[in-house]
Structures are given as structure tokens and as C-alpha cells.
Amino acid sequence: MRLARVGHVLLLLAMAVVQVGAFAATLAAVVLTFTLGLVFLFPPVVLMTRRLAEQSRRWACEWAGVLIESPYLPKPPPPQRGPDGFYRHDRTLYKTPRVPAWSQHWMWLVSDGGSWRDMLWLLWDPFVKVILAPLLLTLPKVGLYVYAQWARLLLAPTAASRLAVQVQQLKKVRSLANDTQAAEMRRIERDLHDGTQARLVALGMTLGAVEELIETNPEAAKALLAKAREASSETLTELRRVVRGIHPPVLAERGLGDAVRAMAMDSPLHVEIEVDLPNRAESPVEAAAYFAVSELLSNAARHGNATRVRVDLSQSDEDLRITVEDDGMGGADPAKGSGLAGIERRLAAFDGVLAVHSPPGGPTTVTMNVPRALPEGTPSGDKTRLPLWKTGLTWLLYLTAWCPLFPQGLVAGILKSLKVDVKSWFVAFYLPGPWQWPFIMCMILLGASMYLAAVLIPATHSKERWMAEATPRRLWLRRC
């Protein structure tokens, strides 16, 4: 493990050489873009810088377990043709989308603060790696963690980029919710038109015939009344089915667990239900989860040729988690229109996600997670707030660590290497010659350790915060 970390450190230091050349190219492109108007040079260097930054984010995740999310603003949508058949960009009309698309792409890159922060990171990162080199080489694990925290400082998302991503996600969710609502309204209208309405029309015609026959042929009128009574019973059953399709009464009265149990009783499959839900979610969330499970049971019976299904409903912190596993033939794919895309749309309205594992031959496992859907007691702010003495110690370390690290360590080391004969206030030069280099190295390690302590004190204070970050960190590690 230590050997692997040393390899990571060497790769990290070697990347500093690449970064120096990349920054030189970036600086030249920026100068030429904004002085001579060579705007075509800007997008390639920005994309190159982003690739280098993304690589550092992946290394921070894989090597130090520090999650650094992508900070960039959402990519603009492609230009849309107007009613007049032209594509508009600002006040100019174009016959093809090529120029508007390129202009939007260029403005997206130049207006994104993440692009400029990447360039700032590209400028300073090689110097930081040189400064951290002694710590990286002597204590690779600690050094990689410190470097990851530095990378997080410049490469993490800003408030503006987070807000922009949230706005785009909300627009997408709103569109999906509207589509889902429209589809539900069409389904209800179709059910009422083809089922309940048709039965009510037939019932009215039957009663009309009874009215005509009641004087002339009472026996036939009685027979028609019997048929009308049966038709009314069937209509009531049909209407109840439609109501259950809108919002099952058992769901509102008994909750999601009992509603899924009642659903399983009507299923032709052998369904095993496991419920661990100490709290109830809001009614719209329960409805979305209920119909998602209903759709999965229907898919397992109609498309998967399954005989057994296991449904697990549980609560993880504030998240609602649902797992549906069947013994069918597998091969389920949301892109094939098997109803999974509709489930994704239902869950997306509540920031929910759907994961499908369905290899050919089965089994099919569908996992759904709806974040922050269930109530849970959260620790008070006093328990997670950093105590005053720790805050003071952190600031003291930040304010004093520069002295041993830079003047007494790095600067003294540079002067010693250049054989500059000056003592001034460099303590190392007042020591005997054999002791000067060890003292300089100790100062560098002391300063780096003080900075590390300043980072770790607030980071390790709240156990609850680390536990809360554990799940997204594991998900990110899988993506890495």
C-alpha cells in the first residue's frame, strides 16, 4: 500500500511539469484571444485545463477519499429554430445552427467562473506540489490528503455553479413532472371514457328500454332491470379501480407498507414483502413509490416471466429506499420502453434515482432511492459547531505555520542551495554546517504539519458530518 502511495506521489509530481507547459499555452491563448481577437484559441485551452482539473479531482477521490464535485455551469441547450425558420443569437438571425451553437459554447466557457478558477489552480498547483514535496515523499498518505484539500479549495463548485445546476435540474424535473401529470390525466380520461362512461351509457339505454317495456311487457322489463343492476355493480367496480389508479384509499389510510402488501395480494406472483419504515413520507412521495412498485410487479409478470418477487421498503437516515427483485429472465432496460422510464420520471420529481441491474437470464434488481423523504431527528447545531478553543487553535495554526514553512524552511533551503552567505534572521545559518540542512527540513515538516493540523481539526470534529458524507463518497468512488 505504501509503495502504491509513493507511485501516486511520483505521478502527482510528474504532472506538475505538464501543468507548467499547459499554463504557458493557456496564458498565450488568453492573451491572443483578448488582444488580437483570436477567439478560436480559447475553447481548446479551456477544455484542456478542465481535463487536467478533472484528473486531479479523480485522483483526490481515489487516492485520498476527498470528494470534489464538478463545478462547471450546465452546458447550454442547442439552438432552436424559430417560427420564421431562422436561428437567433442575440439580434442576429442565421440559417443554420452552426454559428449560434459555437457562440453559445464560447460564451458558456468564458462566462463560467470554473474556467478561470481552473486557470488559477493551474498556475499555483505546481508550486504547491513543490512545497508539499517533502511531506508527500516522507508521509505519502498525509501528503496526499493535504494536497486533496488544497485541490478542493480551488476546484470545488462555487455557489453560483451549484445554483445554476439546481435551477437546470428543477427545470428538468418540472418538465418531467408536467409530462407525467399529463400522461396520468390522459390515462384517467381513457379509463373513464372506455370503461366507466361506456358502462353508464349502456346503463342509461337499458333503463330507457325498461321505461318503454314496463307497461307492455313487465317480464322483459324485470329482466332488463336485473341486467341494469349487474351493470351498475360492474360500473361501481370499474370506478373503484379507476379511483385506486388515482390514489388508493389504503395508501392514504394505512401507509406505503400496507398498501404494497394489499397490492401483493392481488398479484399473480408470489410476492415477499419486507417493511422497515418507522416514519411515513409525504402523500405525493408515497403515491410515487406505490405506483413505481406496482409498475415493477406488472413488468415482472408480463415481460420478465417471473414467479417470485421480493420487495424491500426501508428507511436510511432520511432517505426512502425500495428494492424490487424478481427471478425473471432479465434484460430490462429503461430505453426499451418497459415502464422504467416512467418510474424515473415519477421519482425525478422528488430528486429520486433509479438503478437497474438486469443481466440476460436474470435476476432483475431495481433499487429506488428518494432522498430526504422521511422525517428524522437531526443533531442540533451546538453539537456540530466547532468549540471556541478549537476555532482559536485553528486560526493560530494558520497564522503561524507560514513562519517555519517558508522563511525558516523553504527560503532558507533555497539560499543554502544557492550558497548565499547571509544570516539575517534565518536561524539555520547560525547553527554548525552539518546541522543546517536537518534544521531546515524539520522547519518544513513542522510548517506543513501545522497546516495539516489546521485542516484536520475542523474536519474531524463532527462525526455526524463525516457519516453524512460517507454515502455520497462511496457512490463517487464507484464512479471513479
Q: Which of 211, 246, 281 lies at the terminal end of a domain, its last residue?
A: 246
What pLDDT, on the 0 to 100 scale, is given for residue 87?
Answer: 80
**Measuring CA to CA, how many Å separate 399 from each of 80, 307, 408, 447?**
54, 67, 15, 11
Do both 42 and 155 map to the same domain?
Answer: yes
**Measuring CA to CA, how many Å separate 55 from each of 127, 219, 249, 460?**
18, 87, 52, 26
- Quick one: pLDDT band at residue 28, thresholds 50, 70, 90? very high
What pLDDT, on the 0 to 100 scale, is given for residue 384?
Answer: 53
Residue 11 Rama label (left phi>0; alpha psi -120 to 50; beta): alpha
User: Is 323 a residue whose pLDDT tops 50?
Assistant: yes
What pLDDT, on the 0 to 100 scale, is given for residue 53?
Answer: 93
What pLDDT, on the 0 to 100 scale, is given for residue 337?
Answer: 59
Number of structural domains found in the chain: 4
Do both 114 and 263 map to the same domain?
Answer: no
- For the stretch 452-464, pLDDT in tens is 888 877 776 654 4
The answer for residues whose C-beta is within 8 angstroms of residue 194's C-beta and 6 or more apart is none
Q: Map grid coordinates 452546458 to a residue.
A: 75
Is the residue at 234 inside a domain?
yes
Residue 139 amino acid letter: L
Task: Round the average pLDDT of the chain to a whole number and report it.
Answer: 80
Q: Which of 266, 367, 352 is nearest to 311 (CA)?
A: 367
In this prediction, what percent of the chain has a pLDDT beyond 90?
A: 10
Residue 332 Cα to chain centre, angstroms: 23
Is the residue at 378 inside a domain?
no
The answer for residues whose C-beta is within 8 angstroms of residue 49's C-beta and 6 or more apart is 22, 26, 115, 118, 119, 122
In this prediction, what percent of the chain has a pLDDT beyond 70?
A: 85
Do both 127 and 46 map to the same domain?
Answer: yes
**DSSP string for residues in 354-422:** EEEE--TT--EEEEEEETT-S------HHHHSPPHHHHHHHHHHHHHTHHHHIIIIIIHHHHHHTT---
Do both 32 and 162 map to the same domain?
Answer: yes
Peptide bond into 43 cis (omega under 30): no
Is the residue at 347 inside a domain?
yes
Do both 341 and 392 map to the same domain?
Answer: no
What pLDDT, on the 0 to 100 scale, is given for residue 22?
Answer: 92
Do both 306 and 210 map to the same domain?
Answer: no
- Quick one: cell of 177? 413532472
Measured CA to CA, the distance from residue 480 to residue 477 in angstroms comes to 5
User: Is 294 a residue whose pLDDT tops 60?
Assistant: yes
Do both 222 and 305 map to the same domain?
Answer: no
Instruction: With beta carbons less than 8 A apart as the criterion, state whether 277 and 256 touch.
Output: yes
Q: Map grid coordinates 429506488 to a residue.
A: 368
Is the residue at 264 inside a domain?
yes
Is the residue at 419 inside a domain?
yes
Ranking 177-181, 237-241, 294-298 by mean pLDDT, the lowest is 177-181
Q: Which of 169, 192, 219 lies at the terminal end of a domain, its last residue?
A: 169
Is the residue at 470 inside a domain?
no
Do both 319 and 433 map to the same domain?
Answer: no
Do both 337 and 396 map to the same domain?
Answer: no
**CATH for 359:** 3.30.565.10
Do both 127 and 52 map to the same domain?
Answer: yes
Do both 48 and 130 map to the same domain?
Answer: yes
Is the residue at 471 inside a domain?
no
Do both 159 and 179 map to the same domain?
Answer: no
Is the residue at 472 inside a domain?
no
* pTM, entire model: 0.48
Strand order in the sheet with 319-326: 270-276, 308-316, 319-326, 364-370, 353-357
Question: What range defines the domain where residue 140 resides?
Answer: 2-169
- For the stretch 419-465, pLDDT in tens is 887 778 788 888 888 888 889 898 888 888 888 888 877 776 654 44
